[in-house]
Amino acid sequence: MSSEDGTGTHGHGEGLGDGVNGRDGGTAAQESGAVCVIGLGYVGLTLAVTLAAQGRRVIGVERNQAVREQLARKEPHVREAGLDLAGAVDSGLFTVTDSVPAGREVDTYIVCVGTPVDGDGTPDLRQVEGATRAVADAAVDGNLVVLRSTVPVGTSRRLRAELRARADVELAFCPERTVQGIAVQEQRSLPQIVSAGSPRAVERASALFRVLTPGIVEVSDLETAEVAKLACNAYRYSVFAFANELARLCQSVGVSAREVRDAAGAGYDRAPMPFAGPVGGSCLPKDTAILSQAFLDHGAPGSALLSGVREAHRETPARVADELVERLAHSGDSGPPTVALLGVAFKGHPETDDERSSPAVEIVARLRRRYAELTVRSHDPAVPEQRQRALGYEPCAEAKEAVEGAGLVIIGTNHRAYAELSLEWLTERMAGPGIVYDAWALHAGAGAQLNGPVRYLAFGEGQLARQA
């Protein structure tokens, strides 16, 4: 079973513990039993390690043998600040297996497997349903099942009915809402939404999460929690879409999106806007798609707003790639340039090693449609080199190595390492005529500090294009 973030899909190796399947139908679960976390990716592993740090005995379930092997070496396969995997393993409170343990060993099962969506936004619930079936086979009367995976509205109630047809268990939906990169910190600070099918289940789920955070938000039913989870991410995705659409307008007008943002929000709390920049990752687009589908699933007219938000984000990498192709054509160099991609992950702040749904990767993919023989040298402080190679890149240990002789440099994330680069240092190493494309406008205020025949372009910064 893979995690809520989609890791855990291939590899070989041995686990940390012995898997136990089967069901002891006559044994009631004990409150002092273990917590079983199913799916050990960005969501499940951070939760499991944090619970173990608070003194709970945790059994992690991960089907990916390569991941289990890495965890056995006390090496996290996800990059999260403050994740003390070694401490959790050494304490004896955290063990890992490849199958769901019997309910007689467990008080609470927590499902953290993935719910990816297809190109149309339809969620794939096979992992959630498979995990639920495995729990149903293992559970005993008295077990609590906590669903933490993001699901369509109405899924929790359906899964609760299926579980209760097998055993006298209860289900709670307690959505994960942490940000990748600072999930360990947020496990202990963010309020936890709790919903369940009975008051007793609400009480038990609240007690479980109260050891992590003092903020418990109990809501009246499962559907309220499901909508609340989706609404949080869809709202953020919508706000980012507005910022990027405004940046597109500013670029056409010939003004700076950053200056517009700063002026609009200066001393004016009613207009807080995020910085513009291509948005990626797995959660925001997925949750927006699921919320959009919920309108139709529950008899409401479809949401033109959410459909427009999704389309605006999908078009951003395509527009950037088209602009770069046009600029390169005007440079007089008809051949494909060597590209230096600085930043492969979908974001750089907070730092993550997750390259899934990365706008920078999508921009390069679209450039490759135009230049079939494109050479891409990549650098990212967090993304492992083998995963960069899997994308067809030539990973470099240092940014200098990637940039040397490149005709196009794409600053693809807002990582601090790239914000601290000197444009003069960067451009003196490039081939000319060249282009630096700054997808997050990290150096928009230093656009004149170039060395050689290199042009600097930044997302949403029309003033730079006008001056050029």
> In a 10 Å sphere around its CB, with 0-12 CB exposed, 13-18 middle and 19+ buried, how is residue 193 labelled?
buried
* Residue 421 maps to a domain: yes
Q: Tell me, what DSSP letter sits at residue 282?
A: S
Provide the CATH number for the domain around residue 321: 3.40.50.720
CA distance 161 to 157: 6
Which pLDDT value is given to residue 465?
53
* Residue 88 maps to a domain: yes
* Residue 275 maps to a domain: no
Dihedral sign, Cα of residue 205, residue 43, residue 350, residue 179:
negative
Its domain, for residue 408, covers 309-467
Q: Is-contact 338 344, C-beta < 8 A?
A: no
DSSP helix, strand, coil percent of the chain (3-state; round to 5): 40, 15, 45
- The count of structural domains within the chain is 2
Which pLDDT value is given to residue 332?
64
Which of 220, 254, 286 lies at the terminal end of a domain, its last residue? 220
Are 196 and 314 members of one domain?
A: no
Which of 189, 204, 220 lies at the terminal end of a domain, its last residue? 220
Are 39 and 169 members of one domain?
A: yes
CA atoms within 13 A on the CB side of 54: 17
Which of 220, 240, 273 lies at the terminal end of a domain, its last residue? 220
Are 359 and 215 members of one domain?
A: no
* Residue 112 maps to a domain: yes
Which pLDDT value is given to residue 12?
26
Phi-psi region of 121 (alpha: psi -120 to 50; beta: other; left: phi over 0): left
Are 340 and 454 members of one domain?
A: yes
* Residue 179 maps to a domain: yes
Which pLDDT value is given to residue 450?
81
Query: Other C-beta atoms within 10 Å of 332: how many?
Result: 7
Are 317 and 203 members of one domain?
A: no
Q: Which residues of the chain have pLDDT under 50?
A: 1-31, 466-468
* Residue 266 maps to a domain: no
* Residue 6 maps to a domain: no
* Residue 145 maps to a domain: yes
Q: Is-contact 434 410, C-beta < 8 A?
A: no
